Amino acid sequence: MNLLGLNIAQLQDVATEMGLPRFAAKQMGQWLYQKHVRSVDEMTNLSKQARERLKENYEVGAAEPLQMLKSVDGTEKYLFPTSSGKLVETVFIPDGERATLCVSTQVGCKMNCLFCQTGKQGFEGNLTVSDILAQVSWAIRERGLSNLVFMGQGEPFDNLDNVMKALELLTSDDGYAWSPKRITVSTVGLKKNLRRFLDESQCHLAVSLHSPIHEQRLQLMPAERQFAIADIVELLREYDFAHQRRLSFEYIVFRGVNDSKVHADALLKLLRGLDCRVNLIRFHHIPDVGLEGTDDTSMTEFRDYLTNHGLFTTIRASRGEDIMAACGLLSTKAKKEEKS
């Protein structure tokens, strides 16, 4: 069983089970979440006898990537093994003093968004808390991090129990002790779980929008049928985003699909009065999908129109295009190679 992913109460249970003193739980927590050890043997303030006893039933669970790709722009993509024997992608994005890790929460995804390679894999399982934190711990240890975004493979709110446990460990004093302001969680808008996240966490929220028009968003994102963006926005209006927590909407811009003045006006109407920002994203092409990214001029005009009408809008820099930047491409390639 993995120690990584256990909170202080669970580590106290482990200490009791192994016949170790109660304070050993705090020691283990510090090794796991402050020093990011790879093995029980590195927990050197536990006696050798205690470490041997602990190793009989437990291991740290600090998985390391099986494959790494590095872009010319410095972006790195990793292929991590999971406790279920599957593979999942993680992306490291350095940008000056900022170093962001894009974390995955599921193997595959149920949402089946038209523009997403991960959705075309189908759903193969939720990541455990240990699987999620293994991505983070390795990157902190080997690369150093300033920020986390839960925007990798999978829908975080479809694995909310494990995501919330990971967030608790990331932000608690007995865990990594990160500020929630350093963490953003993305969702297509699973309404019930969205409310739970907003009530129980102070991390930033990013909502995948991609079209403000119901019929079109439904074509792009089947989740719109059950979780209409208009309903999601109404729920969000119940919460305060004017202070610590930030609300953003992710909007991949497709040529001739969602980049017109009609769409801009519909966005302005949908989000009017909501304290938020819109992030425009360039489309990374995936196989067998007849969508194209819009050109830079059209994207800039779209941004300027929204900004000039009072909706704060940015264009996210495109990163890692030479290393299969779109989520799911690397793990799909690895799966095909396994079968061949």
As annotated, the active-site residues are 89, 327
Report the alpha-carbon distance of residue 270 to residue 311 in Å, rounded.
Answer: 11
211, 258 contact by CB (below 8 A): yes
Helix (H) or strand (E) holding 79: strand 76-81
100, 206 contact by CB (below 8 A): no
Is 321 strand, coil or helix?
Answer: helix
Give backbone dihedrals phi and psi of 245, rounded to 5 degrees, phi first.
Answer: -85, 140
Give backbone dihedrals phi and psi of 332, rounded to 5 degrees, phi first.
Answer: -65, -45
Which residue, 250, 261, 258, 268, is CA-closest to 309?
268
241, 312 contact by CB (below 8 A): no
278, 248 contact by CB (below 8 A): yes
Helix (H) or strand (E) holding 337: helix 329-339
Give backbone dihedrals phi and psi of 193, rounded to 5 degrees, phi first.
Answer: -75, -30
Would you tell me the crossing angle of helices 24-33 and 8-17 to the nearest 10 degrees? 130
